[in-house]
Structure 1
Amino acid sequence: MLFHARHTLTALILSLLLAACSNDSPSQEATPAIVVDHGVIRVPPASPLRTRLKVQSVALHGLPHALSAPALVEADPAHTINVLAPLTGRIVELDVRLGDRVKRGQLLAVMASSDYAQAVTDQQKATDALALAKATLDRAEGVKQAGGAAQKDLDAARSAFIQARAEHDRTQARLDSITSETTHPGSAGHMTVVAPTDGSITALSAAQGAFVNDASAALMTITDLRHVWVTANVAENESAEITPGLSADIVLPSLPGRHVQGTVQSISDVLDADSRRVKARIAVSNADAALKVNMFATATFQVPQTKALLVPQSALLMNNDNVTVFVEVSPWAFRRRTVVLGADEGDQARILEGLQPGARVVVAGGVLIND
């Protein structure tokens, strides 16, 4: 047993000596991950950090900011037509009601007008007088050529023809001004009024049996509501940021979940004295007529700002009390640079000082070479 114990102790001592000898033997020196040379951090070719560092260039970006304003749906004047009665008269038939949708050429009303009847009569008389004057002139010219009429008779016939033609042209022009795209001649002094365009009757001031004594007053208004305006009331101090052509996103409380896109068509030159707001009119397509005139809305404009230099948040490192980034000065060589930050833009940081556009910075793995 003693021999066995001595043998075991000897084996243990030999193993310790071998381990000591192994630890004392020189080994191959490992490649450093980084090399610092006068403030420049270099990553050697064999460094494992080369697979973990990500470098990218920084650039200027134009960042829009949202500006919201209360708004109201309005009819587009470019798609609104007032239907006028060309003459005074009585409405004997009214075929539409307020809110009805009509098609181009659809019958709206029938009017009985003594003025229209007089215009038709005058034109018929003028046509007959012109035909008589023409026949008289032809006869006088024939007699003159045969030597059987005086010159004064021919001159009188020619003058009568010229006057008859002028009266005919006047009465025809008068009749043409009455009969237009919206009014067609009828029988017995009646005129028919038809729709000049597709749309909805958004205003109606006529009634069957009523007498129209003001030809300049609209019988009704037809509005094509497939095209509407959303008029935003922009605060005075923000109005300079809204310009024609700017896109707008519109939401309406009465249509939850629906966003409507539009483009600013015009900005009013007049400031409302009471609200201190400026009207910005946004053209909106309304093919399904879901937007109703006078609906409340909120318009949000994406207003462009001055371009800013942005870097990912992952590029920022703390060094004492300063925020720094690692800037590439040559391939796989970096120098620390202090930057001044502006407002955050999501996962990007706005750089106010310390970097120039085109600089290449470490955006991932920078913490691995941070002191």
Structure 2
Amino acid sequence: MCSCQGSPSSAVADGATAASASPGLQRHSSRIDIPAASPLRKALVVAAVEAQPFAPTLEAPGVIEAAPERLVKIVPPLAGRIVRLHHQLGDRVKAGEPLVTIDSPDLGSAYRDDAKAQAALLQARQDFARQQALHQADISAGKDLEAARQTLTSAESDARAARERLAQLGAPADAASRREYVLRAPIAGRVVDMAGAMGGYWNDTTAAMMTVADLSTVWMSASVPEKDIAQLSVGQPVRIALDAYPGRVFEGKARYIGDLVDTDTRTVRVRVAIDNREGLFKPGMFAHATLQGPAQPALLVPASAVLQSGLATRVFVQTAPAQYESREVQVGPADGDRLALLAGLKPGERIVVQGGVLLND
């Protein structure tokens, strides 16, 4: 914490005016002596620096994203003609509710294959039972029983594969309609995208016909530079500002810090879960994230105390009354109008916090 001594800060302007009329400053390498008659003695404001808690903040660009586990692209596993749209764009749906009904010849083929496989299995079981009875009565040869056994095993495998195909499609084995396939919502949410149209034929079984998303909770994903990774921690407070809502600030906490660094941008992703039951956050929105780092002791000085001298950053340290030393320092993050000094100063040293420009070359 800086404590000021000397005249008010307004004296700097007067000191600058009078400096030209005062005896010249006496420079000895990095040391500067101010003559007794110089008005600079009253113009400079000096204060001691002390270590104090400092929680640096990080600014990072971000974007609003839907939670990956709560966004599902509905891809029909079968081609066919859309005969009914049960929901429209923007409708809320529950898990298991029908979304689209498709008239699919491929579904009819799957049911026919299943019917044939079940019939073949029934016939194979009857043949095997008959061969067992004949073999026990010593009427048929053992090879006939073995052939019937192999036929039964093959029929069981085919029947099982046909039934598993129906299960994979989500089609009940005892459905009344053998051509109409009902596409159902896998999660509760809202229909946020729709590509199919009533009466249209859908033949691309790799493209999404609908997208259902639960946006009651969304992610704000911020890109933090690699150099700031050490200041990140799960649970740290995050303030979020959106261009869509000027003047409003939303609060959150870091829930996940990426394990990988983007090799192109040299950033790591920090994700913040946001309650979106009011629907204010839309996936794709740009955001501005301010992350509060952990508190740590630091030497904070007013920005006016730090001067740029060529490529070096310096402050003027008071080594004795009216005697100052130019010292190079390493500047860290800012806290409002104060700067954290990482190296170059020790607690208790007194520096020029205002008017140092009058001492600078």
1:353 to 328, 342, 347: 347
- Alignment-derived partner of residue 143 in structure 2: 152
Tell me, yes or no, if the aligned pair for 1:250 and 1:262 is still in contact at 8 Å: no
- Alignment-derived partner of residue 119 in structure 2: 128
Amino acid at match of 1:80: L
How far has the Cα of 1:226 moved from its partner? 1.2
Amino acid at match of 1:113: S
- Alignment-derived partner of residue 27 in structure 2: none
Tell me, yes or no, if the aligned pair for 2:261 and 2:267 is still in contact at 8 Å: no
After superposition, where does 1:268-287 map in structure 2 within 5 Å? 269-270=261-262, 272=264, 279-287=269-277
After superposition, where does 1:1-371 map in structure 2 within 5 Å? 62-179=53-170, 187-235=177-225, 238=228, 241-255=231-245, 256-267=247-258, 269-270=261-262, 272=264, 279-304=269-294, 306-308=296-298, 352-354=346-348
Distance 2:335 2:271 in 1: 32
- Alignment-derived partner of residue 23 in structure 1: none
How far has the Cα of 1:246 moved from its partner? 3.2
SS of 1:148's equivalent in the other structure is coil
How far has the Cα of 1:305 moved from its partner? 5.0
Amino acid at match of 2:133: G
Count, aligned residues: 266
Distance 1:73 1:216 in 2: 26
SS of 2:292's equivalent in the other structure is strand
**Any unmatched runs of 5+ in structure 2?**
1-49, 301-319, 323-331, 350-361
Distance 2:141 2:177 in 1: 46
Distance 2:335 2:231 in 1: 22
Tell me, yes or no, if the aligned pair for 1:231 and 1:279 is still in contact at 8 Å: yes
Tell me, yes or no, if the aligned pair for 1:186 and 1:192 is still in contact at 8 Å: no
Consecutive aligned runs of 4 or more in structure 1 exceeding 3 Å deviation = 59-62, 233-246, 253-258, 276-280, 342-346, 349-352
Distance 1:344 1:254 in 2: 27
Larger Cα-atom Rg: 1
Q: 1:285-329 CA distances to partner (integer Å, 9 max, x unpaired)? A: 22332222223332110012543489xxxxxxxxx959xxxxxxx
Structure 1 vs Structure 2 CA RMSD: 3.6
CA separation of 1:112 and 1:69: change in aligned 2, threshold 3 A? same
How far has the Cα of 1:168 moved from its partner? 0.6
State the TM-score, normalizing by the size of structure 2.
Answer: 0.63
Amino acid at match of 1:68: E
Q: 1:28-56 CA distances to partner (integer Å, 9 max, x unpaired)? A: xxxxxxxxxxxxxxxxxxxxxxxxxxxxx
Q: 1:166-204 CA distances to partner (integer Å, 9 max, x unpaired)? A: 1111111111111179xx956131111111111122222
Identity among equivalent positions (%) equals 33
**Any unmatched runs of 5+ in structure 1?**
1-58, 311-319, 323-341, 356-371
